[in-house]
C-alpha cells in the first residue's frame, strides 16, 4: 500500500522511532515499523508503542547506537533508550528447519565477554513444541510468517512511507476477526501466551474469536503453566490494565483460561451471582473507569481482589485444623496463598507488600477504639484498603457496609468531630470489661 493509500504518516510516529528507522537505513540496513502501531492507526486509534523489525543482527544494531542495550535469551532484542522512552528493535526471525521435528539445538560460535569462542544456542523446542529459544534470523518474508496474528504482519517503511501487508491483515481488521497465521495448535504450542494475547486483542479491539480458536484455548490452556512466572506477570498486566478488564475477564472465564492464571480463585467462581464473581466484576469495572479517565491504578489492588477469598477460606481451614487464633491463621494463610500464586505468576515485592498491607488493614479497620482509628487512618495504604472495604461492603452488606459508611464519615470530619464519633461508638458498644485480679490478703 503506497503512501496516500493508507492513513499512517510521519506525524503519527514518535520522533525517537523515526530517528531509529533513519539511522538503520542510513547504515545500509532495512528497517520497518511493525505490528501494533500500524494496526492501531488503521483501526482509528492513536499508536502508543513503536516496535521496529530489521535485517540487522542485535550486535549490528548495538554498533549503530550508543544508547542501545541487548536483552533476553529466549528472544534477543535491542532496546534503544531515550530517557523513559524505549524503542524495541527485533531482528527478522527465520524458520527453525528440523529443530521442531528432532528437538535438536542450532548452535553458533560467538565471542564470550572474555573473548573466547563459545557455543550459543539459537533455537530450541521442548517435547510439547514450545519454543525455548528463538534466535534464528531470516528475511522479512520469513519474519512475517513467524508473526502471530495477521494484523501484526504489516510493515511500514520510512523510505517511501509504504505499508507491506503480508497476511491480509487489512481484511482481518475490516472483518473484526482474530486471524492466526499458520496452524492454531502448532502456533499455540510454540508459544502458549498467544492464547491470552488473542483474548486481549479481542477485548481491546472488539474483534471476534472463531470457534476453532476457542476450541484450542480449552484444549491447550494447560500449557500456560509452562510459561515463566515473570513473563506471565507482564502479560497479565496487559490483560487487566488496558481499560478493557471486564471484557477481558469474561473472555478468559468463558474459554477456561482464567483457571490457569489464578488456580486458587477460579474454582470459587461458580456462577454470576456468587460474591466472588461480583467482587471481580466490581473491581475490574472500577479499574476500567479509572484507566479510561486517566487515573492511576495499581496491580496490587487487582491481585488483592483476586486472592482475597482464597485467603479467607484458607484462614478458616488453618484455624480449625491447628486450633489457633484467627489472627495467626490469617497471617499463615496470606503467606501460603501468595506463595502458591507466585508459582504461576510472579508478583514483584513492591506489589506483594502492598497486597499484604491491604489485606491486613481489612482486619484492622473494624478496630477503632482509642488511638487505633487515627493510626489506621494515617497508614500509607489506608485509601486502597478503604476502597477495598467499600467494595466488599457493597457485595456482602451487613456489618461490612456499616463499617464502610462509618469510615467514610470519619474521614470527612475535623479532629473534634472524629472524637465525637469515637465517643459515640464507645457508648454504643457498652462499658469495657476490665480484667479483675483477686485482692491479696494482708498478712497478720
Q: pLDDT tens digit string along 169-213?
A: 999 999 999 999 999 999 999 999 999 999 999 999 999 999 999
The active-site residue out of 51, 143, 165, 288 is 51
Q: Can you give the pLDDT at residue 210?
A: 92
Residue of 409, 400, 397 whose CA lies nearest to 373 = 409
pLDDT tens, position by position, 151-172: 999 999 999 999 999 999 999 9
Question: pLDDT above 70 covers what percent of the chain?
Answer: 87
Q: Can you give the pLDDT at residue 127?
A: 59
Exposed / middle / buried, residue 421 (Cβ in 10 Å: 0-12, 13-18, 19+): middle
pLDDT tens, position by position, 12-36: 999 999 999 999 999 999 999 998 8
The active-site residue out of 12, 30, 49, 120 is 49
Q: Can you give the pLDDT at residue 104?
A: 40
Q: Can you give the pLDDT at residue 357?
A: 97
CA 405 remoteness from chain centre = 32
The active-site residue out of 134, 143, 148, 165 is 148
The torsion angles phi and psi of 146, rounded to 5 degrees, stand at: -85, -10
CB crowding 344-371: b at 16 or more within 10 Å, else e = bbbbeeebbebbbbbbbbbebbeebeee
The band of 113, judged by pLDDT with boundaries at 50, 70 and 90, is: very low
Mean pLDDT of 324-340: 96
pLDDT tens, position by position, 252-287: 999 999 999 999 999 999 999 999 999 999 999 999
Please list, in sequence order, all residues whose beta carbon lies within 8 angstroms of the beta carbon of residue 437, skipping any fewer than 6 positions away: none
The band of 125, judged by pLDDT with boundaries at 50, 70 and 90, is: low
Say whether 49 is catalytic: yes
Classify 142 in phi/psi space as left (phi over 0), alpha (psi -120 to 50) or beta.
Answer: alpha
pLDDT reading at 114 higher than 80: no
Q: Looking at the domain that runs over 1-93+137-175, which CATH code has it been given?
A: 3.30.460.10
The cell numbers describing 223, all together, are: 500449557
Report the predicted TM-score, pTM, of the whole model to 2 decimal places: 0.84
**How far is it, in rounded angstroms, from Cα 331 to Cα 191?**
37
**How far is it, in rounded angstroms, from Cα 134 to Cα 124?**
7
Mean pLDDT of 207-236: 94
Question: pLDDT above 90 covers what percent of the chain?
Answer: 79
Mean of the per-residue pLDDT values for the chain? 88
pLDDT reading at 442 higher than 50: yes
Q: What is the DSSP letter of 28?
A: T
Which residue intervals of 65-126 are DSSP H helices? 99-102
The torsion angles phi and psi of 79, rounded to 5 degrees, stand at: -110, 120
Mean pLDDT of 235-243: 94
Residues 54, 61, 138, CA angle at the centre, nearest 5°?
35
The cell numbers describing 110, all together, are: 560467538
The band of 385, judged by pLDDT with boundaries at 50, 70 and 90, is: very high
**How far is it, in rounded angstroms, from Cα 16 to Cα 424?**
61
pLDDT tens, position by position, 67-98: 999 988 767 899 999 999 999 999 999 876 54
Q: Where do the structural domains in the chain lie, given as residue ranges?
A: 1-93+137-175, 95-134
pLDDT reading at 387 higher than 80: yes
Q: Can you give the pLDDT at residue 47?
A: 87
388, 364 contact by CB (below 8 A): no
Say whether 51 is catalytic: yes
Amino acid at each position: 500500500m503506497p503512501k496516500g493509500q493508507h492513513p499512517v504518516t510521519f506525524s503519527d510516529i514518535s520522533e525517537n522511532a523515526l530517528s531509529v528507522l533513519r539511522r538503520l537505513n542510513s547504515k545500509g540496513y532495512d528497517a520497518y515499523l511493525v505490528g501494533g502501531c500500524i494496526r492501531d492507526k488503521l483501526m482509528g486509534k492513536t499508536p502508543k508503542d513503536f516496535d521496529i523489525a530489521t535485517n540487522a543482527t542485535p550486535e549490528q544494531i548495538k554498533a549503530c547506537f550508543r544508547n542501545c542495550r541487548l536483552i533476553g535469551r529466549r528472544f534477543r532484542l535491542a532496546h534503544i533508550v531515550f530517557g523513559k522512552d524505549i524503542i524495541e528493535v527485533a531482528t527478522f526471525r527465520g524458520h527453525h528447519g528440523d529443530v521442531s521435528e528432532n528437538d535438536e539445538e542450532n548452535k553458533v560460535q560467538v565471542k564470550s565477554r572474555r573473548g573466547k569462542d563459545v557455543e550459543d544456542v539459537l533455537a530450541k523446542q521442548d517435547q510439547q513444541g514450545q519454543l525455548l529459544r528463538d534466535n534464528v534470523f531470516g528475511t522479512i518474508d520469513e519474519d512475517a510468517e513467524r508473526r502471530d496474528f495477521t494484523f501484526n504482519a504489516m510493515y511500514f517503511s520510512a523510505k517511501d512511507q509504504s505499508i507491506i501487508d503480508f497476511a491480509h491483515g487489512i481484511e482481518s481488521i475490516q472483518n473484526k476477526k482474530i486471524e492466526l497465521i499458520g496452524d492454531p495448535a502448532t502456533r499455540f504450542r510454540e508459544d502458549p501466551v498467544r492464547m491470552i494475547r488473542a483474548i486481549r486483542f479481542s477485548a481491546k479491539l472488539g474483534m471476534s474469536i472463531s470457534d476453532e480458536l476457542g476450541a484450542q484455548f480449552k484444549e491447550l490452556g494447560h500449557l500456560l503453566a509452562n510459561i515463566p512466572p515473570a513473563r506471565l506477570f507482564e502479560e497479565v498486566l496487559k490483560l487487566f490494565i488496558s481499560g478493557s478488564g471486564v471484557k477481558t475477564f469474561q473472555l478468559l472465564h468463558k474459554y477456561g483460561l482464567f483457571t490457569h492464571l489464578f488456580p486458587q480463585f477460579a474454582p470459587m467462581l461458580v456462577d454470576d451471582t456468587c460474591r466472588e464473581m461480583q467482587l471481580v466484576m466490581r473491581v475490574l469495572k472500577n479499574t476500567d473507569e479509572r484507566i479510561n479517565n486517566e487515573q492511576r491504578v495499581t496491580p496490587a489492588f487487582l491481585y488483592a481482589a483476586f486472592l482475597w477469598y482464597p485467603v479467607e477460606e484458607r484462614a478458616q481451614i488453618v484455624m480449625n485444623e491447628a486450633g489457633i487464633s484467627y489472627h495467626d491463621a490469617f497471617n499463615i494463610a496470606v503467606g501460603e496463598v501468595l506463595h502458591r500464586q507466585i508459582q504461576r505468576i510472579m508478583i514483584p515485592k513492591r506489589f506483594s507488600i502492598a497486597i499484604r498491607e491491604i489485606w491486613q488493614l481489612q482486619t484492622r479497620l473494624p478496630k477503632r477504639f482509642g488511638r487505633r482509628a487515627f493510626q489506621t487512618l494515617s497508614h500509607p495504604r489506608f485509601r486502597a484498603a478503604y476502597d477495598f472495604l467499600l467494595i466488599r461492603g457493597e457485595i456482602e452488606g451487613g456489618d461490612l457496609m456499616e463499617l464502610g459508611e462509618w469510615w467514610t464519615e470519619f474521614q470527612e470530619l475535623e479532629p473534634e468531630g472524629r472524637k465525637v464519633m469515637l465517643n459515640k461508638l464507645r457508648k454504643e458498644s457498652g462499658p469495657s470489661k476490665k480484667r479483675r485480679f483477686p485482692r491479696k490478703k494482708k498478712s497478720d
